Chains A and B, each alone.
Chain A
Amino acid sequence: MKKTILAAALLASAFTAGAAGAADWKPAKPVEFVVTSGAGGGTDNFARTIQAIVTKHKLVAQPIVVVNKGGGNGAEGYVYSASAAGDPYKLTFGTNNQYLLPYVAKLGYKASDFAPVATMALDEFLIWVNGESPLKDTKAYVEAAKKPDGLRMGGSQSKDTDQTLVSLISQATGAKFTYIPFKSGGEAAVQLAGAHIDSNVNNPNENIGQWKAGMVRPLCVFSPARMEAGPKVAQGMGWSDIPTCKETGIAIDSYRMPRTVWLPAGAPPDAVAFYADLLKKVSATPEWKEYIERTSQSDAFMAGEDMIKFVKQDETRAVEVFKAEKWIVQ
């Protein structure tokens, strides 16, 4: 039931997006960017970058107001937007937590309360160890994690993307981890630099500062192919020198976090099309490329059908983990 409504909404919006490229809908008052993270978080940077680009290139005539609602791992923002069903002025920014959060906690909104607008980028996950760690490659790492004590793995939040990935790694390799949840990836980065934990699975942007100083070191990346070549970061290594985890023997093809944009369900299809078109324009600007490069994410604009397909795949895999770990509520 839930799924069909979602699919219907998606289909409708995708259809109109395709049919009427230049939709008639235009914002008539300031647009609210609802950010489902606190100021300074990854989603906040994502939304503010888009705000800066839209403002600079004057892509929208109306002002943009950014509101941070990051309480309850972002649930606060989703609940806020979901309660304004049909409002085309609440463009909501998030990650895959939009459709995964409702599985692990009772939150007062459903994934189907939103119409997908676009996915803009995919953030990578890597396995990091302390710079002084004797674990030089993935093989040694997995061996160490199979010992009775396992490894201490830090991450951002509980039952969220980081812990899901840790759980997937355990399933794929038989390694044992003690997962320690921190408030943010930044905290997990500092704890790793101080060698208080053995490892983390941070996004590139969360660990780059420490990597530059040689305090942490990447072992492998969970992307289907190696990351784009760029300048060397540290120890003569650049992002493209990091092997994929699959290459090094961890049977996980890819694990990446989408940066997503949504509207409350029931918003006019023309409005969905308008924003999808707007975000498409944003993703073509040099400033956007610069953001992608700086944060070492993968540029991946998806709207309509593509996004629905991606969401479905991502959701299915995560829910399997949730079931195995007994995280699902109700």
Chain B
Amino acid sequence: MDNVANLMHGFSIALTAYHVGLMMAGVMLGILVGVLPGLGAPNGVSLLLPLTFTMDPVSAIILLTSMYWGALFGGSTTSILFNIPGEPSSVATTFDGYPMAKNGRAAHALTLAFLSAATGALFGVLVITLLSGWVAKFALKFSSPEFFAVYLLTFASFIGMGHSSPFKTVVSMMLGFAFAAIGMDTISGSLRLTFDMIELVKGISFLVAVIGLFGLGELLLTMEEGLRFDGIRARISPREVFQTVRELPRYWLTLLRSGLIGCWMGITPGGPTAASFMSYGIAKRFARRKDGYGKGEPAGVVAPETADHAAGTSAILPMLALGIPGSATAAVMMGGLMIWGMTPGPMLFIERPDFVWGLIASMYLGNVVAVVLVLATVPLFAAILRIPFSIIGPVIVVVCFIGAYTVDGSVFDMGLVLAFGLAGYVFKKLDYPIAPLVLAMVLGDKAEDAFRQSMIMSKGTLGIFWSNPLVGTIMTLALLLLLWPLASALVQRLGGAGSASSSVQAG
């Protein structure tokens, strides 16, 4: 096979002491920026970019991508330990990761997250290696109607899984859509819902909302219960890692399913955020025991982490082959590629095979290096949790606010974080689900843009969503998933099962 030979050639480029050293440096820096909510992979990449101008392009991209892997892993760490997702794509990890940590299984949750993330990433690279020619062509098939169908599928797989009142789910999700609509409207080019406040011109950043809703909201709850993080004790021993490794095969179905979802979403590109939410939703829906989810179910950590990294990894391919950056980090990296004198696009694979395959080989190695290093940092993070709460609590507060400020350098955002923190606290206590709000905020404006672009294309007819087999299939699948809870409740009722147990949650 051509690709395997190319890959071997790639390994011969990537597997040098210098490159492995670069990987380690990149990963360490990545973990640092990933852990701090104020900084993210884009910061790290922009910081390193000037350094790379003098480097060989392969070395440069290895450094940058390794930093990206490190940041992805670091983001999961704060999600699990403090309920503060560093990246949109690690929000779903908080759902079960944080409860696990609270129940005293922080080390277990972290190890599980890292290992499933690495599995997902390897899954993604394998797909890239084997299908590189075909994948780019597949991605080209996607236009606005297909994107809308994918977003709808994400919502459909996630919705209707809560135990809370359907009204509260609707309020939460619609608030998310409303926040997403604030600011510049791509389709009409006018500002919406800014009420002439210049602070709202840029819209409400998803990160600001999440830092408040999850980070501060959780701190307030912790304080009220007088818990002071006593529950969290993360100690990690090689034995524990080993045990978790042995435990991993038990989740093979979740791993496989999430890996597939991740690759699909990475390639199309629906993105890692959609992938992790969808994967969590599906895992829960098809789980035998649904009750454990949200209270510290290990599979609830495995599913989003695998999908997140599978998507993040496989998204590199459309970036290289088509020149569409799937994320802010990818956009900065593409800027780098151009400065190094390369043009992302279909010809890159033909013109610079050494670069492309060196990069792909480095993705295998980089992820292995990253998982080893990140496991090594677990005791360090565990130690942080042993600091008395009257110190670490305020430090987390400070980190939350600095994080919110750095998103856009806006004082107004710090006030917003405060408001979202209060909302997160009240919502949690009154059983409003927060996840639908977050999901709607992330995908809301994208879904709206895709829908309205489709309508411009079709001159206002909905038929465009069934105009070809691809979009028709995704759309039908989405509607089926959406109606599933209703249908199953109906079947239950017709079957004469006790109607009290019928739970049409949040349709």
* Interfacial residues, chain A to chain B (CB-CB below 8 A): 38-41, 44-45, 48-49, 51-52, 55-56, 66-67, 69, 71-73, 75-76, 79-80, 83, 104-109, 152, 157-160, 163, 178-183, 186-187, 189-191, 193-194, 196-197, 205, 208-210, 212-213, 215, 294, 327, 329
CB distance from A198 to the nearest CB of B (A): 11
Choice from B144, B334, B345, B409 contacting A208 with Cβ under 8 Å: B345
Q: Which of A52, A182, A189, A190 has the most CB of B within 10 A?
A: A190
Whether B331 contacts A38 by the Cβ 8 Å rule is: yes
Decide if A157 touches B345 in the complex (CB within 8 Å): no
- Structural contact, B202 and A69, CB atoms closer than 8 A: yes
Q: How far is the CB of A318 from chain B (nearest CB, A)?
A: 13
* Contact of A152 with B457 at beta-carbon distance under 8 Å, contacts A52-B53, A72-B184, A72-B202 already known: yes
User: Known: A76-B408, A193-B140. Contact between A45 and B335, CB under 8 A?
Assistant: yes
In the complex, the answer to whether A209 meets B345 with C-beta atoms within 8 Å is yes
Residues on B facing A (Cβ under 8 Å): 42, 46, 49-50, 53, 140-144, 183-191, 196, 198, 201-203, 322-325, 328, 330-332, 334-335, 338-339, 341, 343-348, 408-409, 449, 453, 456-457, 459
List of B residues within 8 angstroms of A181 by Cβ: 186-187, 189, 453
Assess the A76–B202 pair: CB atoms within 8 A: yes
Q: Evaluate contact between B189 and A105: CB separation under 8 angstroms.
A: yes
A105, B186: Cα distance in complex, Å: 12
B198, A108: Cβ atoms under 8 Å? yes
Contacting pair A180 B456 (CB below 8 A): yes
Inside 8 A of B325's CB, which chain A residues have their CB?
40, 186
Most buried by A among B141, B184, B203: B184
Residues of B within 8 A of A44 (CB): 335
Complex Cα distance, B347 from A183, in Å, reads 24
| A212 close to B347 (CB less than 8 A) | yes
Q: Are A79 and B456 in contact (CB under 8 A)?
A: no
Q: Are A69 and B453 in contact (CB under 8 A)?
A: no
Nearest residue, chain B, Cβ from A55: B50
Chain A residues with CB below 8 A from B191, complex form: 72, 75, 105-107
A152 to chain B, nearest CB (A): 6
Contact status B140-A194, CB under 8 Å: yes
Q: List 12 contacting pairs A-B, 8 Å CB cutoff, sorted by A.
A: A40-B335, A56-B53, A71-B184, A72-B191, A73-B184, A80-B409, A159-B189, A191-B143, A196-B457, A208-B343, A208-B345, A294-B338
* Among B190, B330, B347, contact of A209 (Cβ-Cβ < 8 Å): B347
CA gap between A109 and B409 in the complex, in Å: 18
Which of A49, A66, A104 sits near B189, CB closer than 8 Å? A104
Chain A residues within an 8 Å CB radius of B343: 208-209, 212
- The minimal Cβ–Cβ distance linking B6 to chain A, given in whole angstroms, is 19
**B196 with A71: CB separation less than 8 A:** no
Cβ contact within 8 Å between B324 and A186: yes
Instruction: Return A36 CB to nearest CB of chain B, in Å.
Output: 11
> A105: which B residues are within 8 A, CB to CB?
184, 189-191
| Cβ contacts under 8 Å, A49 to chain B | 339
- The answer to whether A66 and B46 touch (CB under 8 A), given A209-B344, A212-B347, is yes
Known interface pairs A157-B189, A186-B324, A209-B343. Does A196 touch B50 (Cβ–Cβ under 8 Å)? no
A190 B328 Cβ-Cβ under 8 A = no
CB pair B189 A194 closer than 8 Å: no
B143 touching A189, Cβ below 8 Å: no
Q: Given A181-B187, A182-B186, do A294 and B341 touch, yes or no (CB 8 Å)?
A: yes
Tell me which of A39, A159, A181 has the highest count of chain B C-beta atoms within 10 A of its own C-beta.
Answer: A39
Given known A71-B184, A108-B201, A183-B449, contact A213–B346 (CB-CB < 8 A): yes
Q: Is the CB of A75 within 8 A of B409?
A: no
Which residues of chain A are near B335, meaning CB under 8 Å? 39-40, 44-45, 48
List the B side residues contacting A38 at CB < 8 Å: 328, 331
What residues on A are CB-neighbors of B344 within 8 Å? 209
Chain B residue nearest to A78 in the complex (CB): B201
Let me know if A40 and B196 touch, CB within 8 A.
Answer: no
Contact A215:B328 (CB < 8 A) given known A72-B201, A194-B140, A294-B341: no
* Chain A residue contacts of B184, Cβ below 8 A: 71-73, 75, 105
Q: Are A40 and B332 in contact (CB under 8 A)?
A: yes
Contact among B49, B201, B322, B348 with A71 in the assembled complex (CB-CB below 8 Å): B201
User: For the complex, what is the distance from the CA of A74 to the CA of B198, rounded to whole Å?
Assistant: 13
Nearest opposing residue in chain A for B456, CB measure:
A180
Contacts A212-B347, A213-B346; A158 near B187 (Cβ below 8 A):
yes
Contact A71 B183 (CB under 8 A): yes
Question: Known contacts A38-B328, A39-B328, A40-B328; is A194 also within 8 Å of B143 by CB?
Answer: yes
Do A189 and B323 touch (CB < 8 A)? Answer: yes
CB neighbours (8 Å) of A191 from chain B are 143-144
Minimal beta-carbon separation of A106 from chain B (angstroms): 6
Given known A-B contacts A39-B332, A40-B331, A180-B457, A73 and B141 have beta carbons under 8 A apart: no
List the B residue with the shortest CB-CB distance to A215: B346
Q: Note all chain B residues with C-beta closer than 8 A to A213.
A: 345-347
Given A75-B191, A194-B141, A209-B346, 14 additional A-B pairs, CB 8 A? A39-B328, A48-B339, A56-B53, A67-B409, A71-B203, A71-B408, A72-B184, A76-B202, A83-B198, A108-B201, A190-B324, A193-B140, A215-B346, A294-B338
A210 to B332, Cβ gap below 8 A?
no
| Residue ID in chain B nearest A187 by CB atoms | B324
Q: Is the CB of A190 within 8 A of B46?
A: no
Closest to A80 in B: B409
| CB of A66, distance to nearest CB on chain B (Å) | 7
CA distance A39 to B53 in the complex (A): 17
Write the nearest CB–CB distance from B366 to chain A, whole angstroms: 21
B8 to chain A, nearest CB (A): 26
- Given A75-B201, A208-B343, A210-B346: A190 in contact with B322 (beta carbons within 8 A): yes
In angstroms, Cα B191 to Cα A104, docked, is 10
Q: In the complex, which residue of chain A has the Cβ closest to the Cβ of B183?
A: A72
CA gap between A206 and B26 in the complex, in Å: 29
**Contact status of A71 and B202, CB under 8 A, knowing A38-B328, A182-B186:** yes
Tell me if B186 and A190 are in contact (CB < 8 A). Answer: no
Closest to A48 in B: B335
Q: What residues of B have a CB within 8 angstroms of the CB of A52 in the complex?
A: 50, 53, 339
Question: Is there an interface contact between A209 and B323, defined as CB atoms closer than 8 Å?
Answer: yes
State how many angstroms separate the Cβ of B33 from the closest Cβ of chain A.
14
Residue of A nearest to B344 (CB): A209
Nearest residue (CB) in B for A75 is B201
- Cα separation A106 to B323 with both chains bound (whole Å): 33
A186 and B345 within 8 A (CB): no
